[in-house]
Structures are given as C-alpha cells and as structure tokens.
C-alpha cells in the first residue's frame, strides 16, 4: 500500500476541478477567474460586453441620415446632439415655411451633417 500516492491522487482531481484552460493562451487559470492573468482575455460575459462596446461605433451614419431625412435634426438628436438637432429642425422648418427650395437645401444639408463625423467619437 502506498499512502502518499493515494493522497496525491485524491488531491489531483480537486485542483483540476478548480482550473480551466484559457481558450486563447492555453494557460491553466482558476475556473472562477473573470479575466485570464496571462493574456488578459475576459471570461465574464458582462465584462466582455463592456470592453467590446468601447471599440464599437457609438452611432450609425446611415441611421443618422435616415432619421434626419424623416425629421430634420433627427439624426443629431439620435447622436445625442439634442440642441443642434432642434436648431436644425427649426432652421429647416423656417426654410420650408418661407421658401420651398432653401428648406429642401437646408434639409439635405442637415442630413449630410448628421451623417458626418467619426462614429467612434459619438
Ligand atoms: Zn489567456
């Protein structure tokens, strides 16, 4: 009988059950780990989501353009530029109210402005 071998065999599965293999770097890490300490990969879905959103565009130029086409300033409001959006809405409304063509031009300008800029910066 080899008591020490039996003991180590008993301990081994417990350690193994606490560890998992990182899918990215294949290092053994704790199962409860939310982030790999070797490569920095996130395992927690919420943490992963929060880090992913950082690199995703904050707005879509196409949506901004369509919204501005439907409602002057709508694209700006969608991008969080509420004051600018309402200014465009008033400006385009004045343009439409007084002269048909400047209103249309202002409307199209508001559409192109809404779709302009860097989507990563908001
Ligand atoms: Zn890793």
Rounded CA Rg of the chain: 28
Q: How far is CA 112 from the centre of its chain?
A: 23
Within a domain: residue 70?
Answer: yes
In a domain? residue 121 = no
Is pLDDT larger for residue 119 or for residue 101?
119
Q: Which residues lie at CB < 5 A from ion ligand 1?
A: 22, 24-25, 36, 38-39, 41
Q: Which domain holds residue 27?
A: 3-54
Q: Is residue 120 part of a domain?
A: no
Structure-block tokens of residue 56:
């995703």
For residue 89, the CA-to-ligand 1 centroid distance in Å is 51
**Distance in Å, CA 121 to ligand 1 centroid:** 30
Question: What DSSP line would sit under 75-112, residue for residue?
Answer: HHHHTT-HHHHHHHHHHHHHHHHH-HHHHHHHHHHHHH
- Our count of domains for the chain comes to 2
Share the mean pLDDT of the chain: 80
pTM above 0.75, yes or no: no
pLDDT digit string, tens, across residues 42-74: 877 766 666 655 567 788 888 999 999 889 998
> CA-CA distance, 32 to 30, in Å (whole number)?
5
Determine contact, residues 37/20, Cβ cutoff 8 Å: no
Work out the average pLDDT over 103-121. 84
How many Cβ atoms sit within 10 Å of the Cβ of residue 55?
A: 7
* Shared domain check, 111 and 72: yes
């Amino acid at each position: 009988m080899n008591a020490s071998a039996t003991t180590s065999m008993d301990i081994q599965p417990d350690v193994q059950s606490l560890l998992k293999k990182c899918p990215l770097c294949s290092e053994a890490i704790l199962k409860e780990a939310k982030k790999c300490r070797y490569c920095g990969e996130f395992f927690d879905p919420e943490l992963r989501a929060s880090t992913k959103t950082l690199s995703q565009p904050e707005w879509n130029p196409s949506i901004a353009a369509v919204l501005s086409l439907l409602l002057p300033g709508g694209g700006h409001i969608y991008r969080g530029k509420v004051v600018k959006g309402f200014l465009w809405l008033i400006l385009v409304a004045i343009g439409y109210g007084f002269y048909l063509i400047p209103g249309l031009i202002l409307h199209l300008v508001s559409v192109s402005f809404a779709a302009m800029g860097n989507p990563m910066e908001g």
